[in-house]
Amino acid sequence: MTIELVFIPSPGIGHLKPTVKLAKQLIDNDDRLSITVIIIPSRSDAGDVSAFSSTTTSHNRLRYESVSVQVQPQTARLEPTQLYIEKQKPQVREAVTRIVVDSNKLLAGFVVDMFCCSMIDIANEFNVPTYMLYTSNAAFLGITLHFQLMFDEKKYDVSDLDDLVNELDVPCVTRPYPVKCLPHVFTSKEWSPFFLAQARYFRKMKGILVNTVAELETHALKMFNNGDHHLLPRAYPVGPVLDFVNGDVEKDLEILRWLDKQPPKSVLFLCFGSMGGFTEEQTREIAVALDRSGHRFLWSLRRASPNIMMERPGDYTNLDEVLPEGFLNRTLDRGKVIGWAPQVAVLAKPAIGGFVTHCGWNSVLESLWFGVPMVPWPLYAEQKVNAFEIVEELGLGVEIQRYFKGDLLAGEMGIVTAEDIEKAVRCVMEEESDVRNRVKEIEEKCHVALMDGGSSQTALLKFIQDVVENVV
C-alpha cells in the first residue's frame, strides 16, 4: 500500500527549504510514503522560489507540482501571506484532484505550512486530516495560541494593552514576558487579526510538526503534550530541519579561504537575512563597535530598503562613503565587509566564534548546529520572541539591549548604539564563557536528536505511525 501526503509550503524560501527537507526525511524513513509538494510561486515571481522550483527534480516518491498564480505588480503593496495563499485555493484544489485521479495511491492527508492553514478547507473536501509544519519554534507557537485564547475569551487584546501592563504570564515560557518585547505583528491593529485567525486554524490541525528539538524547548513543548491545555493538537518536535545547500558558494571561495586562515573561534560573523538592511547612521554605529572591539569579523552588510513591503535591501555601492573614515584600512588585516554571504558555509568554519543575527529561526538552528553563540538583533516577524528565548530562557546568546525599538514591517527601526554593540561583541567572543559552554551542550543535543533513537527521529517515526494508523 502506498500512502500519499500532499505538502503545501509557503512561498518564502525559508519555509520552502525546510518543508522539502522534511519531505525527504519522511520518505527515507518509510517506503510506504509518497509525497507531492505543491509549490506556490512567490507573489512577485522575483526570485528564490522560482529559482528553487527550476532546480527541483521529481522522482518516484517525491514529486513537485507548481501552480500558476497571477503575478502581483511591483508597484502594489504586498498583502499578508495568508491572504495571498487564500487566493490560491482553486489552483491547489485542481492540483490535488489531479494527484488523486492520476494515481492509485491512498491520500492520507495534507501537511501545510504555518501560513497555508486555510488549505485545511481543501483537505476537508477530500475528507483527509491536515497536519501543520511550523517552521518557527515551540515558544512562539505557544505564545500565538495563548494570545488568541485570551482574545477569544475576552480577557485581553494584546494589540490594545493598558500602558500600565509591563509583563504577561504565558504558559510556554518560564518567566513573565515583557510587553516591550512583543513583536509588531501582535501589537499592530493591522497585523494582529491575521495572526489571531491563523492561530484558530492551528487548533484545528490533527498534529503540528515543529522545527525544534525536545531538549532545546522542553518547557514550551509541555503546553502541547500534557493533554489538558484547551485540547491543543499533538506537537512533534522533529528538528532541526535544515537545508545545508548554500547555492553558488564557488564565488565566495575567497571568503571561505580567508576564514580557513583565521584562528579557531576568533571571527565574529554579522549577517541579517534576506530582509536585513541598515541605514547609513546604523551602519556607522556597527562599524565603530567593530573598530573598537579589536576582534576579527566578517560582516554581511546591506543597505536598508526604502520600503521593505515592496523592495528588498540591496548592496551599498560605495562603502567608503558610508563607513567611518579610514575604517576599511584600519581593519584590513582582521575584517571583511561583504554583500551576500553563504551563511551555512560560514557558520560551519571553525574560525567563527560568534554570530550577530536577526534571529530568524532557521539562522538560530544553524548557529546551534555548528555550536556558535549568538548576539540577537531582531528586525521583524517573531524575531523578538526568538531573541527573548535565546537570551533569557535558554542562555544561548548575549543581548545587545533588552528592548529593541521599531520593526522593519512597521517601516521604522530604532538606532542601536556602538557602545551597546561593542559590549555584546566583547562578551560573546569571550573564551570559555557560560554562554559558549551552554551552546556547546545544545550543539551536541541537536546532533544526537537526529540519530537513531534520538528525540527528533523518534518524533518523526511517531508522526509516520499516526499517519498510517489514520488510513488503515
The C-alpha cell that represents 391 in the structure block: 537570551
- Going from the C-alpha of 331 to that of each of 166, 177, 323, 356, 448, the distances in angstroms are 42, 40, 12, 18, 39
The C-alpha cell that represents 59 in the structure block: 522522482
User: How confident is the prediction for the chain on average, in pLDDT?
Assistant: 91
Give 434: exposed, middle or buried? Use CB within 10 Å, 0-12, 13-18, 19+: exposed
Task: Answer whether residue 57 shows pLDDT above 70.
Answer: no
The C-alpha cell that represents 190 in the structure block: 493591522
Give the chain's end-to-end CA distance (angstroms, integer). Answer: 10
The C-alpha cell that represents 379 in the structure block: 528586525
Mean pLDDT along residues 174-191: 94
Task: Answer whether residue 152 shows pLDDT above 90.
Answer: yes
pTM score, two decimals? 0.94
- Residue 260's contacts (CB-CB under 8 Å, 6 or more residues apart) are 349, 351
Count how many residues are written for the chain. Answer: 472
Which of 77, 41, 6, 29 lies closest to 451 in space, CA to CA? 29
Task: Answer whether residue 49 shows pLDDT above 60.
Answer: no
Mean pLDDT along residues 127-147: 97
pLDDT recorded at residue 229: 52
The C-alpha cell that represents 205 in the structure block: 490541525
pLDDT recorded at residue 312: 85
Mean pLDDT along residues 338-356: 96
* pLDDT 10s digits, 285-298: 999 999 999 999 99
Task: Answer whether residue 169 shows pLDDT above 70.
Answer: yes
* pLDDT 10s digits, 356-415: 999 999 999 999 999 999 999 999 999 999 999 999 999 999 999 999 999 988 888 999
Intervals of CATH 3.40.50.2000 along the chain: 3-244+452-471, 250-446
Round to whole Å and give the CA distance between 120 and 114: 11
Give the right CATH number for 250-446 from 1.10.10.10, 3.10.590.10, 3.40.50.2000, 3.90.1300.10.
3.40.50.2000
- Which of 49-63, 128-142, 224-238 has the weakest average pLDDT? 49-63
Mean pLDDT along residues 207-227: 93
Phi, psi of 214 (to 5 degrees): -55, -40
* pLDDT 10s digits, 402-453: 999 999 888 889 999 999 999 999 999 999 899 999 999 999 999 999 999 9
Confidence of residue 46 (pLDDT cuts 50, 70, 90): very low
Task: Answer whether residue 239 shows pLDDT above 50.
Answer: yes
> Does the structural domain 3-244+452-471 have CATH classification 3.40.50.1820?
no
Task: Answer whether residue 75 shows pLDDT above 60.
Answer: no
CA 259 remoteness from chain centre: 26
